[in-house]
């Protein structure tokens, strides 16, 4: 790390749109850090595909606007849509189980503590991170290699939403075979929530949590890639990113 050319720091923005223009081009010495092991990347992209399939087919199940005529037998469209929904649901459950396993065996960027802002420093950094996203004092943003505290909180939140979708989804699925294994395992959920219509309502409303989360997630990834210029988006394909050698990272103790 000796003889490192100092990187230019950026000024405080003077106008709403001026931040991006003030970021200097990358220069100086960079290190490549390996963050996301291949199972994490595979799980990420499998989840993306599952969520697209589940949201599209789920919204169609809720409001089947393409149904042609009153007799569905010739085209069996709803049957196929439901099949895709349940197949994607099964893959999502498999991915969720693997992700839980990976909370214990993954590297420090994907293990359990990386998903919960439990340390006091994470809570004070979370506020600084909010100010960074609001373009207030961006130069004071805390630097993390893995998830920043706001990401930790939002990813944990979306995992809980996904678990609720799985639980409510299986509770509905079980109703098609009263007395069957899934029915017996999940029927208490309808009783707990006050009836299957409520379960269905929760399943429908939480779909919108994904429809809100996904564009924000994509926008913030593109924004970080553009502003930090360290290959953030590539990291979920290649596994790592380049970081400036002179930059201190809160979660980069042993770099
Ligand atoms: C994040 C993932 C998921 C999303 C976004 C999603 C979305 C939806 C939506 C919007 C509906 C229509 C609700 C309505 O009637 O208004 C639906 C229905 C349904 N979903 Fe999901 N879902 C997901 C996961 C699951 C899972 C894991 C299962 C488990 C088997 C599941 C099983 C069902 C069932 C059984 C129905 C009702 C189908 C029917 O009435 O024929 N879903 N889903």
Residues with CB under 6 A from ligand 1: 51, 54-55, 58-59, 61-62, 82, 85-86, 89, 92, 162, 165-166, 169-170, 172-173, 200, 203-204, 207, 210
C-alpha dihedral sign at 253, 39, 33, 220: negative
At 95 the three-state DSSP class reads helix
Q: CA separation (Å) from 249 to 14, 111, 224?
A: 27, 18, 15
Q: Whose CA is nearest to atom 35 of ligand 1?
A: 173
Over its length of 255 residues, how does the chain's per-residue pLDDT go in tens digits?
444 445 544 444 455 555 555 566 677 888 899 999 999 999 999 999 999 999 999 999 999 877 666 666 667 889 999 999 999 999 999 999 999 999 999 999 999 888 887 778 888 888 888 888 888 887 788 888 989 888 999 999 999 999 999 999 999 999 999 999 999 999 999 999 999 999 999 999 999 999 999 999 999 999 888 888 889 999 999 999 999 888 888 887 654
Token code pair at residue 166: 């799985």
Ligand 1: distance of its center to the CA of 204 in Å?
7
pLDDT of residue 2: 44
Give the model's pLDDT for residue 100: 96
pTM of the entire structure? 0.86
Q: How far is the CA of 165 from the centre of ligand 1 (A)?
A: 7
| Burial of residue 44, with CB atoms counted within 10 A of its CB: 0-12 exposed, 13-18 middle, 19 or more buried | middle
Give the chain's count of helices (H) and strands (E): 8, 2
Q: Give yes or no for a contact between 20 and 135, defined as CB atoms under 8 angstroms apart.
A: no
Distance 91 CA to ligand 1 centre (A): 14
């Amino acid at each position: 790390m000796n003889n490192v050319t100092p990187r230019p720091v950026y000024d405080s923005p003077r106008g709403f749109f001026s931040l991006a223009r003030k970021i200097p081009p990358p220069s100086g010495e960079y290190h490549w850090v390996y963050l996301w092991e291949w199972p994490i990347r595979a799980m990420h992209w499998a989840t993306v595909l599952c969520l697209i399939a589940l949201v599209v087919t789920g919204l169609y199940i809720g409001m089947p606007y393409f149904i042609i005529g009153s007799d569905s037998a010739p085209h069996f469209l709803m049957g196929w849509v439901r099949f895709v929904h349940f197949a994607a649901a099964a893959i999502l459950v498999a991915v969720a189980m693997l992700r839980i396993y990976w909370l214990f065996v993954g590297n420090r960027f994907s293990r359990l503590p990386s998903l919960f802002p439990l340390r006091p420093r994470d809570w004070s950094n979370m506020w600084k991170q909010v100010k960074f996203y609001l373009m207030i004092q961006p130069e004071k943003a805390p630097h993390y290699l893995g998830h920043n505290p706001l990401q930790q909180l939002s990813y944990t939140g979306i995992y809980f939403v996904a678990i609720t979708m799985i639980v409510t989804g299986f509770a509905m699925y079980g109703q098609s075979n009263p007395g069957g294994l899934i029915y017996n395992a999940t029927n208490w959920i309808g009783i707990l929530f006050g009836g299957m219509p409520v379960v269905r309502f929760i399943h429908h409303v939480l779909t919108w949590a994904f429809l809100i989360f996904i564009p924000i997630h994509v926008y913030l990834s593109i924004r970080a890639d553009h502003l930090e210029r360290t290959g953030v988006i590539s990291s979920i394909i290649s596994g790592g990113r380049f970081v400036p050698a002179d930059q201190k990272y809160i979660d980069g103790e042993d770099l």
